Structure 1
């Protein structure tokens, strides 16, 4: 197979999969970070 239009399709396919895989993890990290801030500020004694 030659590297051309097919290569661009492969890159777009990988980017789509990375978005699907990374977005939920980023949301989870933001949630846990927000909860961690609330917990640390609330239970500091």
Structure 2
């Protein structure tokens, strides 16, 4: 788990909660399965 990314998600969401953790882990699994990576130049 990327601790920095988790902290950014918590900051955006406003608080830590079980639903945020479930969503974070789900997205993490999908990103791994699909091979999705963050853009280095912030372009979509």
The answer to whether the superposition gives a TM-score over 0.5 is no
User: If the length of structure 1 is used for normalisation, what is the TM-score?
Assistant: 0.41
User: If the length of structure 2 is used for normalisation, what is the TM-score?
Assistant: 0.42
For the pair shown, which has the larger CA radius of gyration, 1 or 2? 1
Q: In proportion to residue count, which structure has more helix?
A: 1
